[in-house]
Amino acid sequence: MIDVAALASFYGPLPPPPTDAFGVFVWSVLGMRTTDGRRDAALAALRTVPAMTPDSVRRLGRGRLESIVRLCGPFVDERLSALDTGVDVFRRRRNLEGELAGPLRQAWLAAKDLPHLGEAGAARLLLFASPHAVPPVDQAICRLAVRLALTPPRPSVRRLVRETRRALSSALPTDITARRRAVLYLAHHAQSTCVEGEPHCAVCPLAHRCAYAGATQG
């Protein structure tokens, strides 16, 4: 098992994503290629408006929405395009949340209809906004899993993603609430400490159980 308690003690409380499907979609789009802090600042601004439903985002003036999205940093046009398309999907398919709660195959197809999420984003949507405890696996999570020796490195990205998802399914708590919390901390850890290039092993709360840290410090 991954020592989530050590991560929680090291980082302190992390703000969870929204609990509804549209909120998780917006949270994911705002979080693409930026820091958690910038994402959370933009999300807080949307909540203040408030603009956390497809209809309220559509009513929000373009200039106001753009100013909020700019809080996330670069890639403003990509985020705005994703939000525009996603709002249209949610407004057209009013039972999308119900589809996500249905059988897993149907839920996967429904999640993948949303723009700019990719496979990892679709899994994240299912994990946080449906009963399906699918661990989201992106490049950062694969890197973390390899360093923790949860899965061996693979030349094939698809195979690495598949094996990482399988490894996390075994290593993470089975309870969905606990799994959501664990995924939140792992993603934050991969972005903040176990970064690409030169990770901060000297301060890492998982270093004592990490094969990569042991190899570099030995």
- Residue 217 is predicted with a pLDDT of 62
Q: Is the pLDDT of residue 35 over 70?
A: yes
Structural domains of the chain, count: 1
| Cβ atoms < 10 Å from Cβ of 113 | 15
- Residue 5 is predicted with a pLDDT of 94
The chain-wide mean pLDDT, for the chain, equals 92
User: Helices (H) and strands (E) in the chain — how many of each?
Assistant: 13, 0
Query: Is the omega angle on the peptide bond into residue 74 within 30 degrees of 0, that is, cis?
Result: no
Q: Please compute Rg for the chain using Cα positions.
A: 18
- Residue 211 is predicted with a pLDDT of 81
As a whole number of angstroms, the distance between CA 30 and CA 157 comes to 25
For the chain, percent of residues with pLDDT exceeding 90: 81
Read off the pTM.
0.90
Task: Name the residue type at position 79.
Answer: R
Extract the tokens encoding 5.
């308690």
Domain that holds residue 172: 4-217
Question: Coil, helix or strand for 115?
Answer: coil
**Weakest mean pLDDT among 4-13, 65-74, 207-216:** 207-216
Question: What's the pLDDT tens digit per position in 91-118?
Answer: 999 999 999 999 999 999 999 888 788 8
Cβ distance 141 to 167 under 8 Å?
A: no
Q: Is the pLDDT of residue 128 over 90?
A: yes
